[in-house]
Structure 1
Amino acid sequence: MEVYLELRGNRWIRVTGRLKQVVVSKGRKSLRYVLVGETVDKPPSTNSWYSIKVPASRLNKLILKLTEENTGHIVVFEKSEDGEYVAKTESMEALELVRKTIREVLVSKGKTMQRDYSLGEESLKQSNAVGKEEG
């Protein structure tokens, strides 16, 4: 899956993979993953986008999981005005994959679904009504 991420200053990167780091703290070793990417002028545009709000606190883990998927879909993460991110996809199938991955990431951390990130049918309808834009 191709993943594009908006950084500060309206800069964009295309995430190409991950880098594994071993961190030693107080005599304990742990693994940490860092995103690896390349700078791009802007993300690709399509005729329509489907979007869903994503918690910024789990964004790196979400992107790491999405880059492992080999589906050929494009996902663009844009910053919203409230400091969170919006995941935009070109198809409903890709949006469902993103929603499923968000659910896995939130549940694996032991967090419950918050109202803002509700991944039920109501959220999907809202996402389609608001998130479909001209490219």
Structure 2
Amino acid sequence: MTGVDLGGLTLYPGVYKFDSTASIAAPRGKLTLSGSGLFIFQIGSALKTSLSSQVLLRNGTLPQCVFWLIGSSAVLGSGCKFQGILMASASIGFMDGASLVGAAYAQNAAVTLINNVITVQPACNL
């Protein structure tokens, strides 16, 4: 899925691979995940979201069953409403007002928060 903007898409349980960067960009800045099951996003380098972008969960999708495996860093834009487990090799930056339902783990650098809310969920139990 390299080069595909996730904004405006509806995706179903499965594995989604990006050789380099993944993004959820304006003006369609909403990614909808639909259905019960595992969602795994394998991102070769960075994850970037635009201002006020959203990850929406529908039809039984649970935030704790959505995994974002990021080869370098993630930046969640101001006001972004994100869902899932973020696991970055380097850093994760939350811009002002970005929120997360899930968890954020950075292996080699910091998770930077600026006026953010993170709501931790129990483990995925499918």
Report the TM range for the smaller structure's normalisation: under 0.3
Q: Which has the higher contact order (CA 8 A, sep 6+)?
A: 1
Decide which structure has greater helix share: 1
Q: What's the TM-score once normalised by structure 1's chain length?
A: 0.26
Q: What's the TM-score once normalised by structure 2's chain length?
A: 0.28
Larger Rg: 1
